[in-house]
Amino acid sequence: MDKPSESDRLVARLRFRHLNLLTEVQARGSLRAAAESLNLTQPALSKALAEIESAFGFALFSRTTRGLTPTAQGAVVLRGATLLLTELAHLHSEARAADRCAIKIRIGAPPFVAQTYLPDVIQRLVRQDAPLRVHLLEERVPALIGALQRGELDALITTFPLQLLESDAGAFQYVKLFEVPFAVVAARAHPLLRARRVDWIDLVREPWVMPVEGSMGRKLIEECFTHAGVPVPVPVIEATSPTTSIQLVAAGLGIGIVPDVALLRHGIVPAGTVRQIRVAPAPPASAVALIFRSGPVNPRVVLLQAALGL
């Protein structure tokens, strides 16, 4: 008989309640607070944590006067525990609806991708022979990455956030889909639309409608001004939604930047209300990619890849 593997031993010794215990200890930061939340005595929780650490073969938390903090190994285990618990909840949800719709695909995308590119993809998904549901989360890219890491989403279709993923690059797989050209835009009566040449220095004193600070779109604008050697203007309006930004630009409240000129063709504002300023050098294009977690094949991601033609 073959000797049991490390994973076999873990399966024999661990239960889902142990994973829930770990995440609760992390969330509460102390055995006392976690024990109260779990309705356990502190000695019972301490014993259970010691048994879990014995099963893994290393400490998962560092004990300090300020409480418990995950060790390097513990951080990895906690990330996996969160994924497994989230997947268990998703499994339960799918099983309850299996008589009506056996599969639920959870996709995350920034609003401009969801509004311009995803409708055709989702149409191909829901028209497959096997009945399925699609859960679409529209959010800023950092929030989407966090949801994917926690197992709340199966995949992202988003601009490629390399700086957000570098620290955890091995945990994800990426498939480049296409590039989108960012564009500076203004209301149709803006005088810069008639200019033969527009440089970034010409845009410094303009009122701006910008994405919120820390967003990828905001960083791109700031880098354009910095590379041109001119100061970054302070926006008069900040907005999280590109579609809202376009509407504000159309109202003449400032110039703005859109992550895809295709947004101007999707009926957000009447045709011709907002037009592109031909600034030089042009803002760089951004790659849009399918991003999903590495590891065992996720059949929901396989279905999404088929709908994408991959």
Give me the pLDDT at residue 48, please.
Answer: 85
Task: Give the HSE-up count for residue 251: Cα atoms under 13 Å, Cβ half-sphere.
Answer: 11
Give me the pLDDT at residue 47, please.
Answer: 87
Give me the pLDDT at residue 155, please.
Answer: 94
Domain with CATH 1.10.10.10 in the chain: 6-79
Q: Tell me the residue type at 68.
A: L
Low-confidence ranges of the chain (pLDDT < 70): 1-4, 90, 94-95, 97-102, 161-169, 260-271
Instruction: Report d(CA 252, CA 273) in Å as an integer.
Output: 10
Instruction: Report d(CA 137, CA 282) in Å as an integer.
Output: 30
| Top CATH class, 6-79 | mainly alpha
Give me the pLDDT at residue 265, please.
Answer: 62
Please give the CATH architecture assigned to the domain spanning 183-283: 3-Layer(aba) Sandwich (3.40)
Residue carrying structure tokens 């509004």? 115
pTM of the complete model: 0.68
| Top CATH class, 97-180+288-307 | alpha beta
Q: Tell me the residue type at 245.
A: S
Domain with CATH 3.40.190.10 in the chain: 97-180+288-307, 183-283
